[in-house]
Structure 1
C-alpha cells in the first residue's frame, strides 16, 4: 500500500467518526458503517484498513453507511490522495443502485463530494454529513419538475398577501385600484424581476443547482429573493431556507421584508433571537459572522438543515472564511450581488499589482462567479443600473464635480500611495498612513469649502424647501466629526432658529446608537420630524455623515444628495455608494395635509446630486480602464486655465497648501526597547486584552470588521507598557507567512481554530484547482502541483515564466527545468492564468 493510500484511509476513517458514524457498536447504538457484505471487520483491524484498500479479490471496497434501522443510506467510495474522487463516480452509482441508496459520498480524504442521485450532479462539500442530518434531508424528495412547471406571474407575491384580491370590488374598479394596492400593501413583480425567476426555473431544467443574480442597487433583490423562496417552498424542493447577510443591521431589514411579503404562508425568524426554536420557521435569517463565531455553524447545524441557501451581497458574504459557512450546507444556492461583471476584466499589474484594491475585488468577484457555477463569469441573470434607468425604474445621478487645488493634488500617484488600500486595510502601517493623509490634507478651511459648496448646491426637498436628505462619506470617524460640526454651524447661519446642532449627525460605528440612527433616518424621525411643515413627515436631521455604515443594503429612497468627501478607489464601494440615491420616490406620500398637495408641482424624485470633490466619477466612469495599470487624473493647479493665479483655492485663502511630498513629511515614532520583547506570552497577553474588551467582542460578533480594525489600531496598538503592534504579533505567532490583523483577531475569537501554514494554504488552493479543472489522468498531478506551488510562492519563478526565459530554470534551486518539462503543456499555460484570477499571492508572503 502506498503512503497516499494509507493517508487517505486514515483521514476518511477519522472524518467518519468525527461526523458521528460508528465502525463498532457503542452501548445501545449499533455500528452504522459496513464494508462490502463479504468483508468483516474486527477492532484490531481498524488501523490496518487499506492494505491495497481500493482492490480486493472481489473488486472495490466501499463504505456502506446505514440509517438508524440498519438500512443502507449512503455509499462512500474512497480513493487514494493522488486520485480525483470523481473517478469513482460510476462505480459508486452502480453500487448505490444495487443497495437502493439515494446518496453517495466520493472522497480521497482531502476532497469530498456529496451526490444526491435524485437531484443531479455531485458537488464539493467541506465536511462529511452526520447520520441524523442525512436522515432529515431524506425526508424531502426534491422534484425539480414541479419547480420548473410552477406558474409564476407578476402577482406571485400578491397572491400570498391577499389570495382573492382579483375578486375584490376595489381591485376591479380601475380608478380605485391604486388606492387598493397601497392600502393592502400588495407587491407585484416588475418584468425584470419576473424574468429573473423564470431564468432560474430554466437553469433548474438544465440541471443546475447554483445561481447568481446580478441586479443593480435599487432594483428589488429582496422582493425577487422572496419570489424564489416561495417557489422552492411551495414546490416542495425546500423545507427550510437560510438567508445570509454580511452585516448585523441587515438581519432585521431582511426579516421585516420577508415577514411583510410571505408571512401568510411562511414564518421568518432571525437565528440569534430564536436559538431554541428556529426549526419551526421556514426562513432563517442570520449574518455569516454569527455562524462563524466559534465555529457555530458546525456545532449547532447539520449540513442538510437548509435546502436553499441565499447569500445577499454574495461577493461580500462568502468572502474569506465565510465561504466555509456557505459550502457547509448541502442544497440549492442563490447569490445576489449588485457588483457588475465588468469589474472582472484583468489589467496589467506589473507596477504594484497586488497593492491595487481592484485586484482583490476582481479576484473576489471571480471566486463568487465560480462559487455559483457561472461559467465564463456570466451570471444566471443580470439587470444593470443602465437597464433600470432606461426602463424608468432607477435614476442616474447629477454629478457635481468640485475640485480644489488640494483635492487634485491628492489624485497624483504620490497621493494614492498613502491612501488606505482595501486589500491591506488590516495593516497598522496603512492605517497610520491614512491618519497622516487626513491630517495633512483635510484642514479646517478645506472642510469648510467642501461643506459650503455642498450646502449652496444641494437639491432641496420639493415639499418643504429645506435641504434634501443627504448622506456624506468621510475619510474617517474623526473626519466625520469635523464635517458634522461644520455643517451644523453653517446650517445655523443659513436657517436661523431652525436647527439646534441637529442639522447634521455623525453616524459611524463608534457613535452610540448609530445603527438606530440609520433606521430613524429612513423613518424620517432622526432627532425629530416635520421641522418646516407640521403635516410633512421628514427627518429634522438632514445630513448623515458616515464612513462606511450606510454603503450597502441601505434603502432610503428619499435621499436627494450624496457627498463624496473622500477619494474612492474601490469599484464596489463606488457602485454601492452611488446606489444609495438611485431609487425613485413620491414625496407626497409623506404629506398629510390634502390642502397642500395641490401646491406641490414636482413631488416625484427624478434626480439626485452626487457631490464629488476628488474626481471619483471621472476616474470610474471615464478613466477607469481595467486593462491598464492604475491611472489617475492629473493635478490642475499651477499652469491650469485659471488666469495665471497659482494661489490655492479656499475660503478667503484661509488654508495652507502643504505640498505633495507626502512620504517625506510622515512622522516616524521610535519604539523603545521596552516595547521590543517578542515571545509567546506577548501574543497570549494580547489575546486576553482584546477578548476582555467588550467593544471589540461585540463588533467581532456583529461582523463589523472595519470598526474592529480601526479600534485596535487606535486604542490597542503602540500604547505604553506593552507596545502591541502588528509586526510583533506576527513574529510572536511564529507562522511561516504574513498574517493580517483580521486573521489574528479571528484566531483570538475562535472564528478560525488556528493559523494555517503556508503549505496548508497552498494545498487548499491546489485542491480547489483540481476540483475546478478536473485533470485527466493522475500521473502528472505531482508535477502539476509542484508547478502550482512554485508559481504561487516564488517571484523568481513567476518572472521566468512570464518573461519566457525558461533557460534560467536550469539554475533555479526551487523549480528546475526538469520540473517544468514534467508539467503537461496544457497546464503550463493554465496554471499562471488560474492563479492570477483566483489566488491571492499576499497570503503566501513571508
Structure 2
C-alpha cells in the first residue's frame, strides 16, 4: 500500500484511484486500451403510468478489464474500506453474467477476493494488491475456459472496429458478435441471430463482418436484403467504414473486384434465366452471406429467392431477424439451426434500451355485439347486403360502416388532443381503401391542424407516390410533418420511426410475426426528443397476442409440411410495392383479412424491370384478391368500454396504478414494515435508501403525482405499501419543533439545524444530507460552508453527526 494513506477515511472513489488502479496497472494492464471505468451496461428500465415516464437508476461496473477492444475478461467491484473485502462480489457477478466473463474481483482496498470460474477446485480466493494477475495470465485462463483452438485464435482475437468516437457495442451486442464469430471460427456454417427491433442488428452484423474480414477468415461477403431502404441505410450508415472495398449490386451486374457486396434479392434473380445475376460468379465466390430480415423472402425452402442461398451453399450464412418465422410450412430454424443468441423485446425493455408500451383497448358496440342488416337492405351502391351477422373480422374487410370509421378517427383525435397533437402516429388499416377512408376521416376531424400544414395526415401506402415520398420525413425526428400516417402494409417492417409515440391497430392481425413487426415500429427510444415509451390504441383485440407465449418466448420449430407443398411465398416473394421499397409477403397479408383468389395468380413477366424488381403494386395485389365490400351509411356506432393496461415487470399487460406497482415492488424487497423502518433508520444517509429503491423500480416523480408532492419518501412507502397514515414533511418538522429538540444546541449550531429543518419541510431529506446546502440561501448568510461548520460544530464529522441526529428525531414514531 502506498505510504501515508489512511484507508479508513477513503471513499469508494478514493479506493479505486489510489489503490485499485495502481495495483492493476502494476500488473501490466494498459490504461488506454484494457481498462475502462464506470462501464454502464444498461440504460435503466423506463416505467410508465398515466402520461408520465421515468427511468430506473442503474449502477455502472466500477472497472471492466479487456483483452482487446470489445473482448471483456474481468470485472472489478470496489467498496469503501469500512466494508468487508467481498462486499462487492455479488454485484460484480451480476455484471460478469451480462458480459459472460469468468473473472470477478471484489475489493475494499485491503486486497482482492478473486472469483475464478475457470478454477473448479477453488472458485474464490483472497489475493493481495501486489498479486493481481497479469493480462497474459487471465487471457490464458479465459482461452482455455472458452476452448479456443490455436487456429481459431487469429479470428476470435481480431479487434472490433473503433470509429474513434468512443462508441462501443452494448453488452448484448458483444454477446451476439462474439458468439457468432466463435461459431464461425469453429466451422459452423449456418447461424441465426434473433434480436428485437431497435436493438442494432445491422451494427451487430457490421462488427461480425468487420472482424471476419479483417482476420481474412472471410474475404468476399454478401449482405442480402429485400428492401431498397434496408440496403441503402446499411451502405450509408453502419457499413460506411468498408469504404472502397464495398459496392451495391445494381443493374444485375456483380463486379468481382469488390469484396463487400450489398444487394437486393431482386437485383440478383428473377423468373427469367437472364435475370439470375448471381450466376455471373462461381458458387464458391462468396465466403460469407448475411441475410437481413431472414424471416421474409427466402424463408421458405421453395421460395424463388432461396435459390440464391442454395447456389452459394458453400458460404457461411448468417440470418438476422427480430421475428424468426416458425409456421407449419416455413422454418428459419430448420435452415439455420437454433439461434446462436436471442435478445428479446422483453429483455430490451427491462434493460432500458427499448420503449415500454401502454395499451388502450377500445370495444365498439357493433364489434362486440355484431350487426345484422334489415331485410333486403341495400348499401350506398344499391347492392343488397347479404343477410347475416357481421362482426369485428368483417368490418373494413367485407363491409364498411362509415360511422365506425369516424368513431375510430374521433378516438385517435381525442387521444392526441389531450396528450400531444404532434405525436407521430401510425394507423394500421386493413387495406388501401380503408387507409384512404381513415385519412379522410382524420383530416375532417383535425381542420385546424390540417390548415397549418396539409401534410398533418397522410396515407403512406405502396400505391401512392406522394405518400411514399413523405416516408423519410415521417421517420425523421427533425421533421414535424407528416404527423399521422395511415397505412396497411407498407410500414409494418423496415421503418425506423424512432419518435413514433402512437401505434393504432384497426387491422385484424393473427400472424405473430406481423404483430411483432408492427409493435416494433414504436419500441425505439429517442431521449433527445423525449420518446421513452409509446401507446398502442387497439380497436381489433390484436393486443391479445401479447398473452401468447410465442410473443416473447424462445422460437420453436413447428414446421410439419413436406417439401413441395404449395406455399404462398412462391407468389408473394417477387411482389414489390412501387419502386422496390416494400414487399408484400405472407407475413403481412393476414389470411383472415383477404379472400384467396379463385384462380392461381399468374405473374406477368413483362412487368419486370431492368434491376430485377417486379413492379406489381399493393393495389394490383388487392385487385387479385378483392372481395366485394358492402358500404353502409347511417348505422349508429358507439364505444362500449376502454381499458388501459401497462407493461409489467414480467412482460405481461396489467391494469394497475403506479401505487399498485410500487406496493408489489417494495414487498419483494422488505417482508414487513418493521424491516423497512429498521433499514431506513440504520442508514447513514437516507438518500442511499432512496436511490436503492429507485433501482428496484420506485419512481418518486410518478408517486408524487398520485399521492402528493408534500410527502417524504419514507411516508410515501409507509402509506402506499404498508397502509400507514402519512405525515407531511411540514408535520414531521413541526413535531420536532414541538419537542424542543434545539435546546441542546446553541448559537450557530442551533441556527443551522433550525434552517435545515425548514429546508427539509420544503425540499426533503436529500437536501439536508448534501453538504452543498450550506452554499445556498439562507445558509450563505452565515458565512462559507467551512466557516459555518467550524463555528457551529467544530468539524465535518461533528456536523454530519448532528444532521444524522436530526434525521433520527424526524423519523421518531408518533408516540415518541
Q: Tell me which interval the TM-score lies in, with the shorter structure as reference length.
A: 0.3 to 0.5
Q: What is the TM-score of this pair, normalised by structure 2?
A: 0.46
Q: Which has the larger radius of gyration?
A: 2
Provide the TM-score with structure 1 as the length reference: 0.45
